A and B are shown apart, each in its own frame.
Chain A
């Protein structure tokens, strides 16, 4: 019960979707027109996916022949996918991406939630300054840090390790802010009762506050995971060793290695796109809600 009432204010936008739009009285003609326009645009938006899929299902000869055609002369084939899966490192890279993104998400959640809880609930000296510093740090663009971070990772001997991929990616100041705002809404009485009973701060945090915050934690996790999964610049710098690359970086090396093998290029791209697209199809609602909640806090 408490969860639903608490999650409402922060997560309201999406839940309302259907009711609000249906209630809105519009003349049928304009709605029909809007549907047509949006459908045309949606089809246009799907063209890059469709063209990549068709290309990936062609033989290399068909992919490179003119005039270009949606239906290959020698029929569709899974050759390109088979070749890419046999020769390439795509499965390894997928696991690397999965592992590093999961680790980044887990560490980010733990450290951000606990500092956000401290700032929201505990009266400690220097807390305003701490919050000020964290908020101010939002303005630092990550590319500014690549040169000194590389130097730092080199001197720690961490280049070409999972550590180099994970450690510098767990500071998400905007998410601390998002979490703090959510914790602020949780009624203090819930904790005070437990405090009276002699429960420690850590117990209160893990058994009362965190369970009540599941929706916002999920939203933050989704946002951080997508960002980590797709991050390019830092992993590109921090790793060279082919077996350690993440999917986006590995794909970049494929592009230069395969050169003009168009069908295989598209097959690789689609295989790389697949995991998140599948996840999205299953958790569409949660992902969209998560992005809408955390999105404005900063990217």
Chain B
């Protein structure tokens, strides 16, 4: 009885729908072919140079593979247990987190401050964008050469300026307590313009009526910034902070070029440790294992961020 009832409507509509299924299956088969054909080139590169290395790296991390060709074969999780007991690994991980913390804050705050100032209706908009953004177009090596030269203890511009202020010289890149900060200063100069542009675009997207209404109510500039601009920039800020943290965790170039991780490993990042384990230590297997530990860290942070932003928007 119940079956009859449920099949009845289907049977009734069958004649009308009859030509449709044929056409549809034909069409969808053609769509399947077209869809995958258009996706094939990307997919080929994706499989070859992303998926395959991810798999082979995971396999490699379970072996004693070396750059010299020697391979002690499958050694299980030995690389991982060695890495977890490796104080140099922990130290470079710690350095990376330290760099991420002390670079992300100025890279977000200064970018926002610059954007807010420039957005106050200043003349010559292009000039400010040019000044603050142009360093972003430089290769890391150029930035490192510029700053290593300015940090030079005897001939550098920084110590000269300090001397003019009556401050004793600083060893910048050679002082373990200062070196990371020196790297951060260079990094801020180099990349803050990117976040600045994103903030500027977001500020210019805030509807003008908000400000007009606020000034009718007598709210001043500061008041408007804190009660209109800042809340409106919320989503942009979340995105910028997430991208900045993920970018800072990957730091390698400028540190390697300015300090080679020194002095005494004080600035060595986790990516540099991966690089050195593989290419100076010749231990590909071990290096692959540390890569995966680093990946794990990134995953945890990314998932935490997804969780936090979901919660906020919910």
Contact = CB atoms under 8 A, between A and B. Distances in A.
Given A24-B211, A143-B294, A276 B137 contact: yes
Given A52-B149, A115-B42, A145-B57, A284 B130 contact: yes
A280 B134 contact: yes
Interface in B113-157: 114, 117-123, 125-135, 137-142, 144-147, 149-150, 154-157
Interface in A279-299: 280-281, 284, 288, 291-292, 295-296, 298-299
A32 to B, nearest CB: 10
Interface in B75-120: 114, 117-120
Contact of A30 (B33, B120, B243, B284): B120
B197 A276 contact: no
A292 B198 contact: yes
Interface in B216-255: 221, 236, 239-240, 243, 246-247, 249-250, 252-253
Contacts of A122: 31, 34-35, 38
Contact of A21 (B28, B35, B119, B201): B119
B56 A151 contact: yes
A117 B114 CA distance: 38
B182 interface: no
A139 B299 contact: yes
A78 to B, nearest CB: 19
Contacts of B150: 48, 51
Given A143-B294, A152-B52, A22 B117 contact: no
A35 B53 contact: no
Nearest to B290: A147
Contacts of B180: none
Contacts of A142: 250
A20 B42 contact: no
Contact of A168 (B49, B56, B129, B250): B49
Contacts of A55: 149
Interface residues of A, number: 105
Interface in A16-48: 16-18, 20-27, 30-31, 34-35, 37-38, 41-42, 45-48
B267 interface: no
Interface string A157-180: 000000000011011000010000
Nearest to A145: B53
B114 to A, nearest CB: 7
A243 interface: no
A262 interface: yes
Contacts of A124: 28, 31-36
B139 A255 contact: no
A246 B150 CA distance: 25
Nearest to A137: B50
B172 interface: no
B215 A45 contact: no
A13 B201 CA distance: 5
A265 B145 contact: yes
Interface stretch (A81-89, A212-220, A267-275): A267-275
B259 interface: no
Contacts of B146: 48-49, 51-52, 266, 269
Interface stretch (B4-12, B13-21, B272-280): B272-280
Contacts of A255: 141, 144-145, 257
A14 B139 contact: no
B139 A247 contact: yes
A124 B28 CA distance: 7
Contact of B149 (A119, A130, A251, A265): A265
B54 A145 contact: yes
Contacts of B313: none
Given A114-B39, A117-B38, A252-B257, A148 B54 contact: yes
Given A38-B118, A115-B41, A118-B39, 16 more contacts: A20-B204, A24-B120, A31-B121, A42-B127, A42-B132, A48-B146, A48-B189, A122-B34, A123-B35, A141-B249, A143-B250, A150-B278, A232-B141, A248-B140, A251-B145, A268-B145
21 contacts: A17-B204, A21-B122, A30-B120, A37-B117, A45-B131, A45-B189, A48-B189, A118-B36, A124-B34, A139-B299, A143-B274, A143-B294, A144-B274, A144-B292, A152-B52, A237-B275, A277-B134, A280-B137, A281-B130, A295-B198, A299-B243
The 3 closest A-B pairs by CB, nearest first: A124-B35, A13-B201, A118-B38
